[in-house]
Amino acid sequence: MKLITTREITNDECGWIMETIPEGTEVYTFHGCTYGAVDTVNGIAVSMIEDEYPFFEVPRNAVKEI
């Protein structure tokens, strides 16, 4: 599923991301194995390329389906 960020996501909020993700960035829901590394209540696993590693977690309230 294709998603878009609805606000800027910073390293201060998500210490595991290396660079700020700007509002309006397109990402994809990641369906591969996340090895329990994602908080599935508050976060969602995404990747920059559909169904390809690497994945990373972003806050659920920072993305919406497009």
* Per-residue pLDDT of the chain in tens (66 residues, 90 and over written 9): 999 999 999 999 999 999 999 999 999 999 999 999 999 899 999 999 998 999 999 999 999 999
Residue-range definition of the domain harbouring residue 26 = 2-65
CA neighbor of 2 nearest in space, from 21, 22, 25, 26: 26
Find, among 15, 7, 3, the residue nearest to 39 by Cα.
15
Give the C-alpha separation, 29 to 46, whole Å.
5
Please tell me the number of Cα atoms within 13 Å of 53 on its side-chain side: 4
First-residue to last-residue Cα distance in the chain = 8
Number of domains in the chain: 1
